[in-house]
A and B are shown apart, each in its own frame.
Chain A
Amino acid sequence: MKTYDEINKKIEAKKAVVMTAHEIMDYVDKKGLDAAAKEVDVVTTATFGPMCSSGCFLNFGQSTPKIRISEAWIDDVLVYSGVAAVDMYLGATQLRHNDPANMYFPGEFRFGGGHVIEKLVAGEDLQLFALSYGTQEYPNREVRTVFNINDLNQAIMVNPRNCYQNYNVAINCSDKKIYTYLGQLKKNMKNLTYCSAGQLSPLLNDPFYKTIGVGTKVWLAGAQGHVYSEGTQHCSDGERSENGVPTGGAGTLALTGNMKDMHPEFVRGASFRGYGVSLSLGVGIPIPILNTEILKHTCVRDRDILAPVIDYSVDYPQKTGKIICQLNYEQLKSGEVTIGEKSVSVSSLSSYNKALKIANILKDEISSGDFLLAEPHQMLPMNQGMKSLEIREPK
């Protein structure tokens, strides 16, 4: 019905009709699917939450004399330097050197890779400490200096797994409080935590990956980035509801973008007591309304998206596969749910408020002609499963 080219021409002419995934549902109810599909060009989706599989490549430029860095730390956080002389990869979950971790349980994990990434994007000064064994053309063996993002040649965020299509709801059925990456879970199912933007979340609005694929342009914390691959653990063959929406983890995206264009509001270090550090990140993805089917999927409502409630005291760590029940995001977002006869208080680690803000920013950028869409050049795999790690003895 519409093509990417046609939509982009309308965007360039500032005539594109753009709505957020939050607005489109009521609009389609009012206008009807066919009429709305003709009228609306783009629906913006978004999510903001902790995304552990994030990190960045940094290039420092050369010191005089030159150095071939073999080990390095930024603000005492180890960066991987087995890439090239002054190329490094900083991972979001890397702990600070000498962090006691969970030695005195539960550890606080106040600072780590995610916080370094936050400071970089905020333009703050950081300390680089780098060592080398020295070579004839790279004789320098040690560098200690202060730098900020403007001093770097490149600071490119490269995240192997973002935007989980759906996610577990964590609960604790044991009689002891537990600390997880989904927060503190009180004993005897007193609270639970979910982590998804639900009806605003990108892959829940495009459940069969009809428009989001390799090459899709995304809004990554304010920068115009793109999907460079299926995400790690992309697992599209799981159970789906009648509307096509997966009822568990499912698809993921690998994203990249220039950190020099990012906004610090949407790149935030995160500390989880008893677990570790991570990075909370804001992502927006535009969905071109090429036909009525694509529009129909963007009208998914919180009440139509189910998430599995899993016991993180036993069933998650032991991979039993047991699901206590399924809850929809309308129930979860109400703040209190009933499981069996028990009333359970709800926490969230995903910020719907920030996601909504991102969906609106992206809508404004597209409406004002500043953000063009890109057609994916490779679709994400459907019917793909996920392997487990088998522990084998050497032959």
Chain B
Amino acid sequence: MKSKKVLIILPKTEIEKPIVNDLIKYYDLTIKIIRAKITPEEEGYILINIIGAADDIERGITFLNTLNIQMQDAERGLQWHEDHCVHCGNCLSHCPTGSLSFIDRVTMQFNFNKETCIECLNCIQNCPHGAFSSIFEQK
């Protein structure tokens, strides 16, 4: 089993299409929806984790590519700006998945694991120095 996190940005024309259903039904994939915002007759986005056999994931991605959508690697979601980070650790206790951590407790150097991040955006609210940003941030 493999997994791939992708961010799908849906234009108005594709909003009504049952994309997640198709991935499950026709490509034998498990889909975890991490974050989504879909407004009828407007744009939308959906951040998903696609889980399944490697060739099924590949077929699923090929299917997604046939749609009129923009697809981005999930890293485009939450961004950690290392230059802005002061390694204070204020974000740590606000991260529900442990994706924000110290490499060790001697040098207290901060580390961000984007693989386990679920884009809850708590870190954005809790970083005094603006070290995180996301396209999902409600401004």
Contacts and interface: CB of A to CB of B under 8 A. Distances in A.
B107 interface: yes
B102 interface: yes
Interface size, B (range): 20 to 34
A335 B92 contact: yes
A351 B94 contact: no
Contacts of A350: 88
B91 A351 contact: no
A172 to B, nearest CB: 12
A268 B86 contact: yes
A354 interface: yes
B119 to A, nearest CB: 18
B108 A349 contact: no
Contact of A351 (B88, B93, B105): B88
B126 interface: yes
Given A49-B88, A345-B92, A353 B129 contact: no
Contacts of A191: 93-94
A349 B94 contact: no
A273 interface: yes
A283 to B, nearest CB: 14
Contact of B89 (A186, A269, A348): A348
Contact of A183 (B107, B108, B126, B129): B126
B130 A354 contact: no
Contact of B93 (A269, A270, A347, A354): A347
A335 B128 contact: no
A356 interface: yes
B93 A345 contact: yes
A312 interface: no
A124 B131 CA distance: 19
Contact of B129 (A190, A280, A347): A280
Given A48-B86, A346-B93, A351 B108 contact: yes
B89 A347 contact: yes
Interface in B91-116: 91-94, 102, 105, 107-110
B90 interface: yes
Contacts of A268: 86, 129
B90 A347 contact: yes
A334 interface: yes
Given A271-B130, A280-B129, A354-B86, A333 B108 contact: yes
Interface of A: 48-50, 183-184, 186, 190-191, 193, 268-273, 278, 280, 333-335, 345-354, 356
Given A271-B129, A349-B88, 4 more contacts: A183-B126, A333-B105, A351-B86, A354-B88
Kindly list the 3 A-B residue pairs having the minimum CB-CB distance in the complex, ordered from nearest.
A345-B93, A353-B87, A270-B128
